[in-house]
Amino acid sequence: MKGNFMVRLLMALLVLAIFSAYSYVRAAYTPYSDELTAAASAAQAPLEIAATPAPESTEAAAEPVTLSEPTPAPTPDPTPEPTLDPNSPAGRAAALGLPAPPDIDITSWEYVLVNGTHSIGTYEPAELGYLNQTGDATDIQTAYNANRCAVDLRIAQALLDMALGCREAGLPIYLSSGYRSYSVQQQNFKRVCDNNGITDGKDAEGYYITMPAGCSEHQTGLGVDITDKYYEIKRNDIVASATLEWLSEHCSEYGFVLRFPEEKRPITQVMGESWHFRYVGKEVAAYMTENNLVLEEFVALYGVE
């Protein structure tokens, strides 16, 4: 028994020695041994609570937020205005500060230019219409009638409508003179020149008071002298009337224009005639009236010189 006890004691001492040696080696070669020791010491020290400053207001501490502007969508380049051809009607009008003129065929019959430098020779309208001179009768005749006013048949209805409009306004009207043939204008030219002691049909200022045959608008059948009653001699100082005022204001509504305004004499080369109206159609009459143009100025927009 005693022998067994000694064996067990020796075995216990051996185990203890081995454990001690193992603990020593472990402590010597473990990197965190000092930190563990310090941590163990700190755990035994009294706990000190450091004063922590109160956090500042969230609003004060927060950085200001800047909202970026949304990126605008790219603006498309504007479509450039088409460049006007300076030799086109619109281009010529624009150069004068005028709106674009009507899109017309300037060679059409109603735009023919007749004056001292534009002769139509012995031209005759294809067909004439004859109107009652005072608008008392509203029929349009096509057979010759010396007691009626003759005009190009194509403008007869428009002229009749204007005469009736004037009468409805309570004003008298007299279709004094319409179409004159080449031969009749020859006689008229000679008579006026003889009565005024001239040979070229012009007054002292160089403006026509009568036109040579071939150069008179009456020969086209598109021009007509209109007064309030019959006058043997027409002059602005004796034929001025409410009728002419009404016609001047409303003629474009029927397709007519005042052909020879007093202030346009340097352009027309004709003395002012407040009684002479010319058919050009409603669209052109409106444009000419709105822009204060005479026929010479209007056709020049289309290259007619």
Is 50 among the domain residues? no
Q: Which of 287, 294, 295 is nearest to 90 (CA)?
A: 287
- Tell me: pLDDT of 37 over 60: no
Is 22 among the domain residues? no
Pairing of the two strands 128-131 and 174-177? unpaired
Give the structural domain span for 106.
89-300
Is 96 among the domain residues? yes
Is 43 among the domain residues? no
Is 270 among the domain residues? yes
The 10s digit of each residue's pLDDT in 255-278 is 999 999 999 999 999 999 999 999
Residues 6+ positions from 264 with CB-CB distance below 8 Å: 294
User: Which residue is catalytic, options 273, 290, 297, 305?
Assistant: 273
Q: Which of 34-43, 111-120, 195-204 is least confident?
A: 34-43
The 10s digit of each residue's pLDDT in 134-162 is 999 999 999 999 999 999 999 999 999 99
pLDDT of residue 240: 81
Q: How many domains are there within the chain?
A: 1
Burial class (CB in 10 A: 0-12, 13-18, 19+), 286: middle
CATH code for position 107: 3.30.1380.10
Q: Fill in the amino acid letter for 85.
A: D
Buried b (16+ CB within 10 A) or exposed e, 200-219: ebbeeeebbbbbbbbbbbbb
- Tell me: pLDDT of 288 over 80: yes
Q: 160 with 151: CB under 8 angstroms? A: no
- Tell me: pLDDT of 204 over 60: yes
pLDDT of residue 282: 98
* Mean pLDDT calculated for residue range 227-233: 92
Is 136 among the domain residues? yes
Residue 171 is classified by DSSP as: -
Residue 296: active-site member: no
Is 211 among the domain residues? yes
Please count the other Cβ atoms lying within 10 Å of the Cβ belonging to residue 264.
19
Is 15 among the domain residues? no
